[in-house]
Amino acid sequence: MSDYALVCNQIKKTKGKLNLDLDFSVNKGELVSIIGPSGSGKSTVLSLICGFESPDSGTITINGVDVTALNAEKRGAAIIFSDYSVFPNMTLEQNVAYALKNHKLSKEETEAEVRKLLELVNLRKDDKRKVKELSCQEKYKVALARAIASEPQILLLDEVFSALDTRERDALRIEIRDIQKKTGITTVFVTDSQVEALSVSDKVILLNNGKIEQMAAPDDIYRRPVSEFCAKFMGECNILPYDVILKTLRVPETERSKVIYQCYGPEHRLLFRPEDMVVNDMPGLPFPEFYPHLRFENAKIIRSEYLGKEYLVTAMYEDMIIKVYTVYKPASDYITAGIRMSKILEFNDGRLIRH
């Protein structure tokens, strides 16, 4: 028996302007997020796995069985859409019971099963409400319970949190991970939020124009992005020309020879995350020295955004824009910030060459 719950083997699909070209696998019991800009083919991937669309070439295997030619109802891939598609002609309990695989259950057994599932998703057990009386969050939970009731081999979630507010999203994010761990159902989760993808997933797949830009663990994809696109998509970052080293490098004279300056051309760039920068937060205190590093002395602040626990400061250093997080509100119009060389990634022609 295969260790993979899902294998998309050299899948190709042309749909309008989108040319999907995929090759990836998901281990059993994993939660994998698919993320990417709109139009990158995220939902099409789910449609292909589910069987609503057929690939032009390639095979899809679920738990070792080639399902490429199978109808959607025979694949064992339950999907939850962003509108949750809770059947409005049924009550909450009827929705869940609809999907129960074993139709030979007695009424009492069905009720018990439904209650168990509702309990699993933290819904009231004796809920007889109609669908129109439910909140978005509750609809999502009903859809989840219903999907689990069908005993799927794979659970597909298509931007399920897009209709929820931030607090609900945060709460359900945790819940979805807990339920997934409890049930052990392999889950593919399409989202447009980097935070969601990074926080709940075992693996993240970043799509760009129908191709997998990177597939890696959340920490890897954030810390070691393979391309500039990937780095920019996964979070705030500073991208500066390589020759900024000449202007900003701070290193003791004795160690200067250890820093090798080797520029590959104008497309050779440096990338680092704003949260890795160190800021001279407290006026009057000396800037913490650490070697070697790039120091942006007295960069002119052009914008300061208060984010609650910190500020995101955008500043101009010479003709370059740098972004940096700081705990304290900048005391003047200028800021001094530094970044360790060890935190810097190097890209040439948009691809990672050194980290």
By the criterion CB under 8 A, which residues form the site for other proteins?
A: 50-52, 71-81, 83, 85, 87-89, 98-99, 101, 143, 146-147, 149-150, 152, 156
Q: What is the 3-state secondary structure (H, E, C) of 200-245?
A: HCCEEEEEECCEEEEEECHHHHHHCCCEHHHHHHHCCCEEEECCHH
Closest separation in Å from C-beta 133 to other proteins: 14
Which residue type does 111 have? E
Taking the complex as a whole, the smallest distance from the CB of residue 292 to other proteins amounts, in Å, to 55
| CB of 81 vs other proteins, minimal distance in Å | 4
52 or 328: CB nearest other proteins: 52
Distance CA 160, CA 143 (A): 10
CB closer to other proteins, 123 vs 147: 147
Shortest CB 108 distance to other proteins, Å: 22
Q: How far is the CB of 120 from other proteins (least distance, A)?
A: 17
Measured from the CB atom, the residue of 95 and 194 that comes closer to other proteins is 95
Q: Tokens standing for 297?
A: 């002395």
**Shorter beta-carbon distance to other proteins: residue 156 or 226:** 156
Burial class (CB in 10 A: 0-12, 13-18, 19+), 73: exposed
> CA angle, 303 as apex, 297 and 307 as ends, to 5°?
110
Min dist. Cβ of residue 18 to other proteins (A): 19
* Structure-token pair, residue 4: 């993979």
Q: With respect to other proteins, which residue has the nearer C-beta, 79 or 237? A: 79
Q: Which of 96, 95, 101 is nearest to 74 (CA)?
A: 101
Q: Nearer Cβ to other proteins, position 33 or 43?
A: 43
Give the Cα separation of 148 and 235 in Å (integer): 33
What would the two tokens of residue 270 be? 């440096």
